[in-house]
Structure 1
Amino acid sequence: MITFSFFLLAFLILIILVFKYQQLRKTTRELLAFRYAIENSDNVVVLTDKDRKIEYVNDAFEAHTGYTKHEVLGKNPGILKSDLLSDDFYKNMNETLDRGERWQGELINRRKDGTLLYEKTSIVPIVVDGELIQYLAIKLDITDYIEQQQKLQQSAAVYETIGDGIMITDSEKKILSINPSFIQMFGYDEEELIGQEPTIITSTKQDRIFYRRMWYSLMTKDRWKGKMYNKAKSGKRLPTWLTITVVRDKVGAIANFIAIYANLEEIIEMEEKADYLAYHDSLTQLPNRAHFERQIVDIFDLAKMSKEKVAILFVDLDRFKVINDTLGHHVGDGMLVELAERIKKVLGKNDLLARIGGDEFVVILNPVKEKKDAGVMAAKILSVIREPINVQDYHLNTTASIGIAFYPEDGEDRSTIVKHADSAMYHAKDKGKDNYQFYTKQLSLDVQARLNLEQELLHAMEREELFLYYQPQYYLKSGKISGAEALLRWENLNLGRVSPDKFISIAEETGIIVDIGYFVFEEACKEYMHWKEQGLDIDSISVNISSVQFREDDLFEKLKEIIIKVGIPPYSIEIEITESFIMEYSTTNLTILEDLRNIGCKISIDDFGTGYSSMSYMKSLALDTIKIDKSFVADLPHNTHDVEVSKAIIALSKSLGYHVIAEGIETPEQEKFLLEYHCDIGQGYYFAKPMDSSAFVAFVKEKNQ
C-alpha cells in the first residue's frame, strides 16, 4: 500500500514537472520572439534602469541616432537632447513618469552628427511586484514627416507673401490659381482670371519665333525662362522675367504649368545695359563669345524643327598680332573696329556676327540653302578684309583665313560644329592663308594621321632617325659666313622624311622635345668643335631650345654639363628662343637666360613679330639678337606693310643694342633692302639651303677663303 502510494505521488510530481516545463518552454519562446521583434523593429527601443541609465538599445537606435550601443550604455538618454525644448517640457515629462504613469509626446533630439531628430515617443515605467525596476521607451522617427510639413508651410507662406506673381494652370492651360502678388502686379481680380488662359495678359511684343522657342523648350526640357512683355488690365505693357515649369504626373503626362512672373519694370533699364555689356564686345560692339554660345543653341533648335541648314564661319585674321604688337594696341583696335563694320555690311539681316577672341570672329548664316552660298559669303568677307585700311596715318593690309562647317551634316551640337569649323579654319591657314575651306571628314582623318606620327616619334631617338642640318648665316655687308643654325631633321622608315613643321609641335605637346632638345644641343656643339678642328673660321652655332624645355628645373645645369663635356666655348653658342617663351614666363622666372648669358652664351629671339611680345617688354631681358621672321621678308620690298614692319623691327632693335638677323632671304632684292636698312646678318635659300655637316664644311671653305 505504501509502495503504491509512493508511485502514485511520484507520477503526480512527474506530471506537474512536465506541465511546468511546457509552461517554461512556452514562456521562453515568447521571450525569444519578443526579443527578436525588438531587435528587428524599425522603431527605436531604449531600456533604462530605475535611475534612467541606459541598459539596452536596439539596432534601430544606432541607425537613427548615429551612436553605437557601447557609446550610450550607462548614459542618461539626455545625451540626445537638442535644447530646443523648454525645461518645463522635461519637468512635466519627468513628473508623469515619477507617478508611474506612461508618457507620450514628441521629442526633438540631436543625432551624433548634430542634425535634428524628431521622434514620436512613448515611455512606460516597468513595475514588478509593486517595485519600479526599469523604463521602456519606444520611439518612431518622424523627422521626414516634420520636415515635409515645415516645407509645405514654408511653401504656402512663400506663395502668399512672395513679391513675384505666381500662376498655376491645368494641362489645357486654364488658370487654376494665382497668388496675391499676381493680382497686384496685373490689376485683375481672382474671379476674372480663374478658368481663363494666360493669353489674357499677353502683349504683342513677342513674335512667332519667340513662342516657338519657348514651347520647344517646355516640351523638350520641361522648363523655360526669359524676359517677356505682358499686359496689365489697364493696358500698360509690363516687362517681366518669366519662368515656366512643366509638372508631369507619374506616367509622364502634363498635369500643370507653373509660371512665375518677376516684375522688371524698375530695373529694366539697368538690366538691358548690363545684358548688353555682358553679351557684347566693348570694342567693336559686336555680340561676344557668351552671346554666340547662347544664340547658337537656339538657332540649332529652330533649324532642327524647320529642317533647315545653318553655316558656321570661323574668321581668323592673318598676322594681326604683328600689327598689334609692333604698331601698338591702339592701331590694332582701330583695325578691328573697321573690319567689324565691313563684315557687318555684307551679311544678311538674319545672320549673326560675333567677336569671340582677339582677332577671331564667327559668322552664323541662318539659314543657308546651298553649300556654295556659304562659300560666296566667305569670299565676300575675305574681299572686304583684304581692302587697305587706314588707321591713324598708317596704311595697312591684312587678310583672313575662314573655316566653314554646316549644321546638321557636320555635327548636331554646338561643340562639334565649332570644333569642325575651327579645324577647317586652321586648314585654310595651312593652305597659305587668305582663303576659305570647308570642313571635311578628311580633316578628322588627319587627326588620326597625327596620332600615328606621334607613335613613330616616340621611338625616333632610339632608332637614331633624328639628325641635324645646318643653314649658314652670313654678314650682309661682306658675305662672310658668321655661323650656322642647327636644324632638326627626321627620316622615318614608315613615314619617310617628316617636316619639322609637322613633328616639332607634337614633340612639345608630348614632352618628347625635352630629350630631343638635349640631343640637338649636344650634337650641334660637337659638330661646331669638329669644324673648328678643321680650321673653319665661324663665330657661333645657333641652337633652338623649346619653351617646353625651359620648364625643366635642371635645364641650366644640364646645358652647362654638355658645354663642359664637349669643351665648346660658351661664347660660341647662341641660344634661340621664341616669342611664345617670352609670354609664357615672366621676367622674374627667366633667370636661366641670365645664367646662360653669365657663362658667355648669347641669347636670340627667333621668329620675331609672329608672337605677342613687344620691344618695351624685351628691353629688360638678357638678349643679344633679334631674328626677323621670314613671313615679313617674303614680300620685301614690294609689300608696304612688310616694309614698314621690318624697318620698325630693325630700328627698334638697333636702339636697344641688339644685332639683327633676317631669315628667309630668297631674292637679291630682299637682301639689298635689308642691307640698305642696316640689318646685320642674313639667312635663307638665296645664300644657301640647309645642308649636312660635310657639305657645310666645304661650303664655308669655299665662301670664306
Structure 2
Amino acid sequence: MTSALLQELESKQARECVQQLQHALAHHNQWLNRLYETLICRLHHQADDVADAPHLLCQFGQWYHKVEDPVLRNHPTFIALGRIHQHLHHAARSLLLESAKNRTVSYGLYTSFLHELNRFRQAIFGHYLPLPLMRHDHWSEEVTSLANKLFEYTTEGVMISDTSGSILNVNSAFSHITGYSLKEVVGRKTNILKSDRQNADFYRLMWQSLRDTGHWEGEIWNRRKNGEIYLEWLSISGVRNDDGNVTHYVAIFSDITTARENELHLQHLAYYDPLTNLPNRMLLQDRLNQAVVMAERERRKLAILFIDLDRFGSVNEMVGHKAGDALLVEIAQRLRDCVRSSDTVARMCGDEFIILLPDIPDTQAAGLVAEKIIDALALPYSTEKQPYKISPSIGIAIYPNSASSADGLLKTADVAMYHAKSTGRNTYQYYRASVGEGATDLFAMESSLRAAIEKNELEVMYQPQISLATGKITGTEALVRWHHPERGLVMPADFIPLAEETGLIVPLGEWVMRRACAQNAEWQKDGFAPMRVAVNLSARQLRIRTLAEKVAQILDETGLDPVWLELELTETMVMRGTNDVIGIMQQLKSLGVCFSIDDFGTGYSSLSYLKRFPINAIKIDRSFVQGVPHDFDDATISKAIIGLGHSLSLKVIAEGVENAEQLAFLREHQCCEAQGYYFSRPVSADALTALLRSNIAMADFPGAR
C-alpha cells in the first residue's frame, strides 16, 4: 500500500489510503480517532488554490510531528502520508531556494511542485481534483506570490545574507528556532549564532566548499538568543548574478537537537542496561572481540569473570522487585569500584554480571580482583530498613589458557562459575578441564530434576505430628524425596537449593502440594479422622500473585477441605514480607487455609509480624529442642516460645524431638504438638496409613518405651 501511495495518483488508491488510516485509528483508541478528526479540521485550507499550499504544508507538518503514539507512527498509511509530505516539502524547498537565488523559478520546477501538491491533497482529502496548471505566459506572478508564502510558512529557518556576512532577511521559522526577531538580526553578522563548538578548520572547509561548488550542507552547532546550544542541519547556497558573481547567500536550516538526542538515547538503550547503566551483552561482546584480537596481536593475557549472585532470586522475591532493583544498582556500582577504568563491567541478565579485564600481567591478577569483589559485595546493604548480605559465585576464564575465542571464554567462565556454586558459593574458581566435567554434572542434575517433576520420579514422604495431650497423630508434614534412576535416593539438601536457584521450586512446590492434598483427601475417604497436612511454601511461590487461585484449584481438584491444608513459611520469609505478601496470605486465609511459621526464633524476630500476618501456629526450631532440658539457654527460649504461643492463642509445635527427656520437658511446659525421629522418621503414604489404621498412641512408639 505504501508503494502504491508513492507511485500512483489514481483516486482509488487515495481513497484506500484514507480508509486504511481511518480504520487503523478506529481500532486503536478514541484518542487516535479524535486526532485524525483534528487533522481534517485543522486543514481547513484544502489548497483549492496554489497560493494556499504553504499554509497547508505548514499545518500538516505541525500536526504530523506532534503525533507521539507509536502504534500510529508505525502504521504504513501514516508513514506513507509522511513520505508524500516529505516529497512536497522538498519540492517547496527547491522552489523557495531557486526563487531566492535567481529571483525567478523555472517552469519545470513549478510544475514539479504542483504535481507533488496534487498528490498530497489526494492522500489527505480522499479526492483527486487536480489544481489547474497555469499557462506558461501567465504563471510568473503566481509563482512569485507562492515563493513569498513558502518563505514565510516553511517550518525551516531561512536566512539571507550578503557576501560580507551581514543578514538581509530571515523568516518566522528562523525567529522561532533561534529566538531572534527580524529587527534584531538585520544588519548583524551571521556569526551572531556562533556557538564556538566548531574550530577554525571547520569554517575554513565550509567556505572552501562554497567557493568551489557554491554549496555546503551538514550539521553545525549554533547558539540561540537565550544562550542555549542546539544542533541544526544547515544548507547554504550561493546566489550569483548574471555575471556569475556571488551576490548573497541563502541558508536553510532545521533544528535536529531532539532528533539527535532521541537517536543517542536509542543507541544507549541498544548497548547499555537500562537499570544499572552498565554495558549489556551486545556491547560486551563487541569489546571482548576487540580485546581478544589485541591480546593475540600483543601476546598478552586477558580474563573474563562470570559473576552470579547467590540465591538472589529468593532475596528479590522477599524484598520485592523494586527493592531488588535498588540492590542490583548498588551491586553494579560496587563492581565498578573494584576494577580499573579500562576494564568493562557488564550486566548480562537478571543477577548475572561479566567483568572483562583486557590486560592482566598473570592469571593470579584475576583472582585478586575476584577476592576484592567478594569482599565488596559482602558489606551489608540496607533496603527498606532491612539489612541484607549478598555473596557471589565467580567463574574465571583466562585467554589463551581457557579458550582462544570470545565465545569460548564466556562459556568456560560460565562453567567455572557453576563449579564455584557447587563448592559452596561465595567463592571463585578458575576454569579447568575437570571443572568443566563438574559443571556438566550440575547441568545434568538440573535437567534430571526438571524431568523428574514431569515424569513423577519424586515421592512425598510424611512425618507425623503428635498431640502431646492425647498421644494421637493429629497432623503430618509433607516432605519430598527424589528417586533418581541412576543416583538412587537424592536428599532434599542436594536438590532443593538447585530448584530454588533455577526457579524449578515453583512447579516442584505445586507438585508436592497436589500430591499431599490428594493423599489427605484419600485418608479421609478411607474413614480416618481428618487431620492437617503441612506443605512447605517457598519464597518464590509466595510472591506469585495468582498463588491463591492455584491453591484453590488444587483443593478443588483433589477434593480436600481447605481447613486441612497448612502452609509452612519460614520466619525470614514472613519478616521480609511486603504488603503484597500480606494480601496473598489474606486471600489464602479466606479460603480456609492455615499458616504456620517454621524455624521460629532463628530469623530476624519481631513480635509485630505475629499480629500483622494471619498465622495459626509456630514451630520451635530443632536447634532449640536438641538442647533441652540440659542447656539453660535452649530451655529458656523453648519455654518462652511456648508461653508466647499460648498468650497469642497460637498452636506450638516442637520439631526434632529425639528422646524421652525432650518429650517430658515439652509436655511439662504444655507444648501442643511435636514431631521428630523419637516418634517416626518421614515415611511413605502407605506406611503412615498403617500407623493411622493401628490407632497407635504415643506411648506405643519405640522411643517412648
Interval of TM-score (by shorter of Structure 1 and Structure 2):
0.3 to 0.5
Structure number with larger C-alpha Rg: 1
Provide TM-score, normalisation by structure 1.
Answer: 0.46
Structure having the higher helix fraction is 2
Structure having the higher strand fraction is 1
